[in-house]
A = this chain, B = another copy of it.
């Protein structure tokens, strides 16, 4: 539809428009913004993404993005090596770490099973998880995948595989957010919060 006055501009727009959630209009706005910035800044951006892509390391244990062969969490001996929390990607690790409430390890799947997007178990880091469990130090695997059809499918797949090992399998609690009112909570969440109710004693004895 649009004709660009410069091939160089057009190529930059084409590449930027491949980024997730970026349409051609936004890509053009980005390209024009970059043209106004100092050369050094644009080179810093271009080189940062290339360097990241070509030199990033995934932790040999948990498969999280890392700068070392064994990431900072896996190599931290103060952490509980018997607990492994299974998450979709590094953002979930960051979110849980931010709570300051979890002292175990992680396993980053790198996605979830999604037939729609052509992602099967073989595209994820599941085998690495099974080998970790097989080694015997892991006592409990906590599933923290999204509550979507894809998340449930992945949970069930992991459940089927992990029952072969002597590990406890649990899932993070789904319920009403702290401070939320019952009347404004959706039916499914409210229903689940009753089914999966927590013994009151647990709440008052917890420090």
Contact = CB atoms under 8 A, between A and B. Distances in A.
A45 interface: yes
Contact of A6 (B41, B50, B57): B57
A48 B97 CA distance: 36
A41 B18 contact: yes
Q: How many copies does the complex hold?
A: 2
Nearest to A91: B28
Interface in A1-48: 1-9, 11-12, 14-16, 18-21, 26, 28-35, 37, 39, 41-48
A145 to B, nearest CB: 16
Contacts of A31: 49, 52
Contacts of A64: 5
Contacts of A11: 48, 51-52
B45 A3 contact: no
B97 A67 contact: no
Contacts of A190: none
Interface of A is mostly: helix
8 contacts: A2-B94, A11-B48, A12-B49, A15-B44, A20-B29, A20-B30, A46-B47, A46-B50
Given A8-B56, A12-B52, 17 more contacts: A3-B94, A6-B67, A8-B67, A11-B48, A14-B48, A15-B48, A16-B48, A19-B30, A20-B33, A21-B26, A21-B29, A35-B53, A35-B65, A37-B53, A42-B50, A45-B49, A47-B50
